């Protein structure tokens, strides 16, 4: 198992107080190497919270989490940064690209954190952009790109360090259907090449691209049959 | 590091106006410091140059009554002060700082000097030994100076300076003309060139008092003739020539001490004092330094304010770029990385301010020099220190914003979008 969550609870605010919000309620989830998993659920059900926990951005209130047999909850801030840098790729609904930088510079950013020399950075960033079909756009800045192209730049940035797991939170949420479909095609290709993908969405059509899907409702994770439609 | 610098410059360039306004405090502070330091340096160099340039290294030692030079024409011969003996002169000459020493008498002119029917209103009459001119580094402009023979034979000859030549002779050649000094006729044998005079910048009354030792308008007669026109037992002043400019102060002090040991005046306010140009120059430097140190403080406060401005803008920038910082942290940037990025940006911002400050400071110094006529010497060490100092300001005032950026929670940061 590459990701192994057991009995995860996450409560925002002080537990027991009036403002406390239980976002994850006894969630257990195991994802094996090479899997393609979708997590669906209505808005506010805890999808992003779960993704933040899986992505080592947030700590659960209780439970255990192992990433490639490492006890994530025992790692220090620096080690968590390095884990995110080398083993996890992030794709967000709103891209988070730096507008003053070219596509190439955006994609090369994680490589600079990994201490890759400039020449090598540019070479690998260009390769990643080629992989997502933007070989012609490497010198473009985000405001010169369409939404779908921006998301593909973000995906190139997520995969440039060859992560084990790609985490995507509503990757098509801001895109039209056609661009969304192109992203799904790209995910399929990456998964075929061996990247483990965990994708969060509230769109069952999108979720149907995954090989396995889960449903999360009010912080509880329910196993859903693969490819089955889930109503919101 | 290089990547951080690139990002910093890009950030500054993206917000050109804001960056410039942020830098303004630093620019003004550094510019003020550079301008002040350049002006001080310029004045100091000029003082030194003038002293060395005059080449005389001469220290004038005179009898003072309290704060003022003793005036023989009004007060007569003081009790307990005798003429300077040859032994005393030898003792002074043997000082290791002293090259030469020469005695002279001196009185003020008060309507007692005539050329034909022209009356000299102000000036000095000095009775000098033959080596006086050499000791004081005066040279003949016209005619000749005194010889041992003039002294031995009590010749009624005199030497005048350029200012007398102008005043009594309308700049016509005065050689051979006869002037009357206290009813005694003297034949003019030479004109001395005035020493290239030290012209300090006079800003205050104190400066004026320090520098007002105008020698112009002097008539020189042989020392031996002094008794003819005045008194034979009138105590002399001395002119001491130091071996080097740096020896002037010591030579003046030691010679003064020797002279003061020999006299036992009834009036205890009477004493020999040296009119040491170097010492006075140093006093002036001290004076300019103390007024300027105040200005330096003001500039330092402006730098402090500038630093706070930088901190303020950096805090705003951190808030604005929350999602950028959050993303960077999410995709694997360590805290220290984010910290360094912001510190670099702050340091680049203030260093740039420092550079611009140095440039405008130099410009400002030049303008001051043109307007106020003060000399300017650009001090490159000061410029380098100023730029380094402004970099340090950036780092110091960048710490809090950078720390804030580094400790942003990426989840909060990403959700804020
Ligand atoms: N930082 C937070 N503080 C308080 N409540 C939060 C916070 N983040 C999320 N929540 C709450 O937790 C629940 C789950 O949120 P989230 O995981 O973002 O849902 P989803 O991504 O499925 O829309 C929601 O009720 C949300 O309001
Ligand atoms: Mg969400």
Which pLDDT value is given to residue B213?
A: 52
Nearest CA to ligand 1 atom 4: A12
Who among B2, B326, B331 is closest to A85 (CB)? B331
Residues in contact with A46: Cβ distance below 8 Å, sequence separation at least 6, in sequence order: A10, A23, A24, A25, A27, A216, A218, A219
How many angstroms away from the CA of B366 is the closest CA of chain A? 40
Any idea what the CATH number is for the domain that residue A208 is in? 3.40.50.300
- What is the count of structural domains for chain A? 1
How many angstroms away from the CA of A192 is the closest CA of chain B? 23
Residue A91: domain span: 3-97+167-223
List CB contacts (< 8 A) between A77 and chain B. Answer: 334-335
Interface contact flag, A86 B414, Cβ < 8 Å: no
Q: Is residue A132 part of a domain?
A: no
Which pLDDT value is given to residue B2?
A: 78
Q: In b/e form, how buried is each residue of B42-70, taking b as 16+ CB within 10 angstroms?
A: bbbebbeebbeebebbbbbbbbbeeeebb
Nearest CA to ligand 1 atom 27: A44
Which pLDDT value is given to residue B280?
A: 65
Q: Is the pLDDT of residue A227 over 50?
A: no
Which pLDDT value is given to residue B209?
A: 47
How confident is the prediction for chain A on average, in pLDDT? 92
What DSSP string describes A42-63? -TTSSHHHHHHHHTTSS--SEE
Contact B249/B276 with Cβ under 8 angstroms?
yes
Terminal Cα distance for chain A, rounded:
29
How many angstroms away from the CA of A201 is the closest CA of chain B? 16
Q: Which pLDDT tens digits describe chain B residue by residue (417 residues)?
A: 677 888 888 888 888 898 999 899 899 989 988 888 888 778 777 766 666 545 678 888 999 988 788 888 888 888 889 899 999 999 999 999 999 999 999 998 888 899 988 888 888 999 999 999 999 888 899 999 999 999 999 999 999 998 899 889 998 999 999 999 988 999 999 999 865 544 555 554 544 444 545 566 899 999 999 988 888 889 999 999 998 877 888 899 999 999 999 999 988 899 998 876 666 666 666 666 676 777 778 888 888 888 999 999 999 999 998 999 999 999 999 999 999 999 999 999 999 999 999 999 999 999 988 887 777 888 888 889 889 999 999 999 999 999 999 999 998 878 754
Which pLDDT value is given to residue B294?
A: 79
Q: Is residue A150 part of a domain?
A: no
Which pLDDT value is given to residue A108?
A: 96
B206 at A interface, C-beta within 8 A: no
Least Cα distance to A158 among B337, B408, B330 occurs for B330
Q: Is the pLDDT of residue A188 over 90?
A: yes
Neighbours of A208 (CB within 10 A): 17
Q: Is residue A157 part of a domain?
A: no
Integer Cα distance of B139 and B134 in angstroms: 7
Integer Cα distance of B97 and B110 in angstroms: 37
pLDDT, tens digit, for every residue of A99-113?
989 999 999 999 999
Nearest CA to ligand 1 atom 5: A12
Q: Which residues pair with A90 in a beta bridge?
A: A167
Which pLDDT value is given to residue A228?
A: 45
A163 at B interface, C-beta within 8 A: no
Helix pair B335-372, B16-54: axis angle to 10 deg: 50
Which pLDDT value is given to residue B215?
A: 63
Q: Which ligand lies nearest to the CA atom of residue A43 in the structure?
A: 1
- Identify the residues whose C-beta falls under 6 Å from ligand 1: A 12-13, 21, 23, 41, 43-49
Q: Is residue A154 part of a domain?
A: no
Q: Is residue A209 part of a domain?
A: yes
Interface contact flag, A110 B337, Cβ < 8 Å: no
Interface A-B: count of C-beta contacts within 8 A = 57
Q: Is residue A161 part of a domain?
A: no
Q: Is residue A193 part of a domain?
A: yes
Give pTM, 2 decimals: 0.69
Contact B69/B273 with Cβ under 8 angstroms?
no
B116 at A interface, C-beta within 8 A: no
Q: What is the CA radius of gyration of chain B?
A: 33
Contact B354/B387 with Cβ under 8 angstroms?
yes
Q: Please name the residue of chain B whose CA is at the shortest distance from the CA of residue A107.
A: B331
Least Cα distance to B35 among B361, B355, B360 occurs for B361
Tell the burial category of A120 from Cβ atoms under 10 Å away from its Cβ (0-12, 13-18, 19+).
exposed
List CB contacts (< 8 A) between A55 and chain B. Answer: 330
Which pLDDT value is given to residue A229?
A: 43
pLDDT tier for residue A232 given thresholds of 50, 70 and 90 = very low
pLDDT tier for residue A35 given thresholds of 50, 70 and 90 = very high
Longest Cα separation, chain A: 55
């Amino acid at each position: 198992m590459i990701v192994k969550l057991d009995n995860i609870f996450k409560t925002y605010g002080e537990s027991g107080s009036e403002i406390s919000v239980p976002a994850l309620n006894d969630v257990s989830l195991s994802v094996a190497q090479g899997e393609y998993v979708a997590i669906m659920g209505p808005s506010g059900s805890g999808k992003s919270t779960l993704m933040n926990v899986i992505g080592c951005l947030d700590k659960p209130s209780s439970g255990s989490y192992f990433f490639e047999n490492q006890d994530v909850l025992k790692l220090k801030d620096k080690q968590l940064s390095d884990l995110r840098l080398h083993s996890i790729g992030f794709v967000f609904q709103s891209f988070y690209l730096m507008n003053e930088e070219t596509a190439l510079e955006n994609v090369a950013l994680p490589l600079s954190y990994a201490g890759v020399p400039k020449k090598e950075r540019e070479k690998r960033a260009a390769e990643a952009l080629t992989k997502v079909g933007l070989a012609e756009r490497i010198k473009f800045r985000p405001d010169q790109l369409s939404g779908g192209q921006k998301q593909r730049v973000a995906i190139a940035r997520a995969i440039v360090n060859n992560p084990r797991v790609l985490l995507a939170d509503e990757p098509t949420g801001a895109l039209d259907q056609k661009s969304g479909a192109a992203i799904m095609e790209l995910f399929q290709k990456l998964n075929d090449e061996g990247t483990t993908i965990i994708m969060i969405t509230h769109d069952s059509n999108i979720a149907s691209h995954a090989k396995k899907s889960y449903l999360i409702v009010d912080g509880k994770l329910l196993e859903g049959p693969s490819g089955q439609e889930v109503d919101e | 590091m290089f990547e951080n610098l690139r990002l910093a410059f890009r950030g500054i360039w993206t917000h050109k106006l804001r960056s410039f306004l942020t830098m303004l405090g630093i620019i003004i502070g550094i510019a003020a410091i550079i301008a002040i330091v350049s002006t001080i340096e310029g004045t100091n160099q000029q003082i030194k140059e003038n002293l060395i340039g005059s080449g005389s290294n001469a220290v004038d030692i005179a009898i003072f009554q309290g704060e003022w030079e003793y005036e023989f024409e009004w007060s007569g011969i003081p009790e307990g002060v005798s003429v300077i003996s040859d032994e005393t002169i030898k003792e002074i000459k043997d000082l290791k700082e002293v090259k030469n020493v020469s005695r002279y008498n001196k009185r003020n002119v008060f309507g007692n000097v005539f050329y034909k029917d022209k009356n000299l209103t102000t000036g000095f009459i000095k009775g000098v030994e033959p080596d006086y001119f050499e000791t004081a580094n005066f040279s003949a402009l016209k005619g000749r100076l005194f010889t041992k023979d003039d002294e031995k034979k009590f010749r009624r000859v005199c030497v005048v300076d350029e200012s007398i030549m102008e005043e009594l002779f309308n700049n016509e050649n005065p050689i051979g003309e006869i002037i009357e000094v206290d009813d005694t006729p003297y034949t003019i044998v030479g004109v001395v060139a005035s020493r290239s005079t030290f012209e300090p910048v006079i800003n205050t009354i104190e400066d004026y008092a320090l520098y007002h030792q105008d020698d112009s308008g002097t008539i020189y007669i042989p020392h031996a003739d002094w008794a003819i026109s005045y008194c034979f037992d009138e105590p002399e002043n001395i002119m001491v020539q130091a071996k080097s400019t740096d020896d002037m102060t010591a030579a003046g002090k030691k010679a003064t001490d020797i002279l003061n040991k020999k006299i036992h005046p009834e009036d205890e306010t009477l004493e020999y004092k040296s009119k040491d140009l170097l010492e006075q120059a140093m006093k002036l430097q001290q004076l300019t330094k103390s007024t300027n140190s105040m200005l330096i403080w003001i500039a330092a406060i402006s730098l402090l304010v500038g630093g706070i401005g930088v901190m303020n803008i950096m805090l705003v920038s951190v808030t604005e770029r929350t999602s950028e910082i959050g993303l960077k942290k999410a995709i694997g940037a360590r805290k220290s990385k984010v910290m360094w990025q912001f510190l670099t940006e702050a340091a680049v911002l203030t260093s740039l301010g420092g550079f611009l400050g140095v440039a405008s400071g130099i410009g400002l110094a030049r303008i001051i020099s043109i307007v106020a006529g003060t000399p300017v010497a650009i001090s490159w060490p000061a410029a380098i220190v100023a730029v380094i100092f402004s970099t340090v300001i950036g780092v110091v005032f960048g710490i809090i914003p950078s720390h804030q950026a580094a400790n942003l929670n990426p989840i909060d940061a990403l959700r804020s979008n």
